[in-house]
Amino acid sequence: MTQPALFIAHGAPTLAIENNEYTAFLRRLGQEILSKPKAIVLFSAHWDSPIQFVTSDQVHDTIHDFYGFPDELYEISYPAPGSPELTARIEALFKDGNLAYKTITGRGLDHGAWIVLREMFPACDVPVVALSVDARRTPAEQYAIGKMLMALREENVLVIGSGGLVHNLRMLERSGDSPSSWAVDFDKWIEEQLANWDLRQLFEYVKRAPHAREAVPSYAPEHFAPLLYAMGASDNDRNASKLHQEYEFGNLSLNCWMFGSKS
């Protein structure tokens, strides 16, 4: 079975205790839209490192890497199993691609990972290998790393990039019924490039996209990076489908893109 690659916005940590349109979509995504994968490779915006890390745990701890939220959030546990076998496969692919990496145990899954996985696979029965992103790399380099994992999709492994295309916490709006026009304009520009798989434009999004500096602020480029990693994993069948789009707090983009298709 061939799995697609996904980019999923993980939103705010409170998503884990909400029951709304987006959480309902994530549940449908895991239980109806997708076929159950053998395992998952997940790049999270909340693991940003110049070293390419790969986890090799039997069972993942749950990291509550946020502060000042309701107590019930800190009580949530998502002890997803790992897959040392898949880790070894990823190591081989990175070696083939001449990518330096480091395999570690004991880190656990950050909220960029477990929040979306918990909604999609609540039984916590799909093995997960977590990978770091590097926001300091160029978009082309991020895409190339994802491309190294392309073969995994044909082995029934789901590749996920978890982040946020418009993720500027300093510009959130607590009131108002309509999303911020600048956020919508940025998302529409991204949609146009994805429809054409225009890598030249996407790799230069900072210069070319409208409102790029508002949507992807200089202090948080790591939230955009997972898009490129996920796209790279679908370089062999370059097509993109938008599965969901909405906004929270005026301009926090909650969207999901599927690259390639399941078969």
Q: For 112-159, what is each residue's pLDDT tens digit? A: 999 999 999 999 999 999 999 999 999 999 999 999 999 999 999 999
CB-count exposure of residue 181 (10 Å: 0-12, 13-18, 19+):
exposed
* pLDDT tens profile 3-12: 999 999 999 9
Mean pLDDT of 17-28: 97
Quote the DSSP letter at residue 126: S
CA distance 35 to 70: 34
5-259 architecture in CATH?
3-Layer(aba) Sandwich (3.40)
Mean pLDDT of 25-31: 97
Could you tell me the pLDDT band of residue 263, with boundaries at 50, 70 and 90? low
**Which residue(s) pair with 256 in the sheet?**
8, 244
- For the chain, the structural domain boundaries read 5-259
Pairing verdict, β 39-48 and 240-248: unpaired
Cβ contacts of 215 within 8 Å, gap of 6 or more: 165, 166, 167, 168, 182, 183, 186, 187, 209, 224, 253
Cβ contacts of 186 within 8 Å, gap of 6 or more: 165, 166, 209, 210, 211, 212, 214, 215
Q: How many CB atoms lie within 10 A of CB 83?
A: 23
Mean pLDDT of 6-28: 97
Cα 36–chain centre separation: 18
Quick one: pLDDT at residue 242?
97
The pair of three-digit structure tokens given for residue 36, joined into one six-digit string: 């159950």
Q: At what angle are helices 21-28 and 111-120 packed, to 10 degrees?
A: 70
Mean pLDDT of 198-216: 98
The pair of three-digit structure tokens given for residue 228, joined into one six-digit string: 């490129």
Query: How many secondary structure helices (H) and strands (E) does the chain include?
Result: 9, 8
pTM above 0.95, yes or no: yes
